[in-house]
Homo-oligomer: A and B are copies of this chain.
Amino acid sequence: MAEAPASQGALAGIRVIDLTRVLSGPFCTMLLGDMGADVVKVETPGEGDPVRGQGVIRDGLSWYFASFNRNKRSITLNLRTGDGRAILADLLREADVLVENFRPGVMERLGFGRERLDSINPRLVSCSINGFGSAGPYADRPAFDFIAQAMSGLMSVNGPPGGDPLRTAPPLTDLVAGLYAAFGITAALQARTRTGRGQQVESAMVNGMLSMFAYLSAEYLATGRLPQRTGNDHPILCPYGLFHAADGEVAVAPANETILRRFLGVLELSWILDDPRYDTNEKRTARRPELRALVDQRLATRQRGEWIELLNAAGVPCGRVMNLAEVFEDPQILAQEMVIEVDQPGHGPVRMTGFPVKLDGTPCSIARPAPGLGEHTAELLAELGRDEAELERLRAGGII
């Protein structure tokens, strides 16, 4: 494709060398690319990111790969060769950011340990995304989302009451680690404007997930009591949760007494709060099935959509449990442009999720679709001043 226009995004002018693969790292560099950074994805010749071959393939294209690798250029480099490593060093000399999600120690074995990186480019912000962090007894362990969910405590709090610990379906520990990495890198770029120097950033899947427990971790640390799995019920608020209207479920979250009054008011059940059986949260929680029946009985008199309008108008947080088909057709999701179509040359339009954080002055945008394997190898090597004869030599040697 033709050269993309100069980026106007927040991170315009920032060059990212991306050694990552699969999910946590590519998600991080996608976020940076969406913000206008120039992301150069370094892949193994003839092989590339394994996600190129994963998920549903349509006309030779993995939509999973396409959605997490938009806004990137691809160069193939065999980093097991001296020539390949020399080209990587040249790329890093001109770059602002390096991101990798190898196991700790791999960069050192490739000859790109901390000191070497610093000598190549002292302004480089170098980020490692890994499972457990690079220090500590588990540093060398292979990581995977399911294991990070197990070891961060997430599975222990997720699940129906009385059931087993449960994985959350999306690979959240990968995505959270990628997002923390993007934040850490951008903060380090901000520090560089003051110090003139780059630094090392590290984001670990278990650490990131553990930071997301909010009151669950605070309560445990304050009391030593373990949180129980409560499914859709709130541990200490009632009524709260999933209820049943005439045509389906409604999620309702009366998070405090004021909102609970509004909720019961709309349902014409205000008497509940004056009834000695139900006049405290504690009593209501102890009689949850009775309360649920009272609420369901009222909700059964109208359609779900009507209740949602009435309750929202009264300031009661509520909504439908939507599946992905409903989400991706929802008027709010469409108004927020959370589904976008990217024209993938040779494949036609690919639908993917949009930009989760919006900036109005330097908005996120799609400057280019996901690259073919090595699509920009010649272009990038030309930028480094390598001529056609050199490219031939590198190609013949299996280096690019």
Contacts and interface: CB of A to CB of B under 8 A. Distances in A.
Given A163-B160, A356-B211, A358-B201, A10 B190 contact: yes
Nearest to A12: B194
Interface string A352-371: 11101111111000000000
B187 A10 contact: yes
Given A146-B317, A226-B325, A360 B200 contact: yes
A99 interface: no
Given A166-B159, A321-B150, A356-B211, A188 B361 contact: yes
A6 interface: no
A146 B251 contact: yes
A216 to B, nearest CB: 6
Given A156-B321, A190-B193, 20 more contacts: A11-B190, A62-B218, A66-B218, A145-B253, A151-B319, A151-B330, A156-B322, A157-B170, A160-B160, A170-B214, A179-B180, A191-B362, A200-B361, A201-B358, A207-B336, A207-B338, A208-B357, A211-B354, A216-B324, A224-B325
Interface residues of A, number: 152
Contact of A166 (B14, B133, B160): B160
A211 B353 contact: yes
Given A63-B222, A187-B35, A321-B165, A204 B336 contact: yes
Interface string A1-16: 0000000011111100
Given A332-B206, A336-B132, A142 B214 contact: no
Contacts of A142: 259, 312, 315-317
Given A150-B319, A199-B360, A158 B158 contact: yes
Contacts of A199: 359-362
A212 interface: yes
A156 B336 contact: no
Contacts of A333: 206-207, 210
Contacts of A351: 221-222
27 contacts: A10-B187, A11-B190, A11-B191, A66-B218, A67-B218, A136-B331, A143-B317, A147-B319, A149-B251, A151-B330, A157-B170, A158-B168, A167-B232, A169-B229, A179-B183, A183-B357, A191-B362, A200-B361, A202-B358, A202-B360, A203-B356, A206-B333, A206-B336, A211-B338, A216-B324, A221-B352, A226-B324
Interface string A208-242: 10111111111111111011011110100000111
A216 B169 contact: yes
Contacts of A75: none
A47 B259 CA distance: 18
B200 A332 contact: no
A119 interface: no
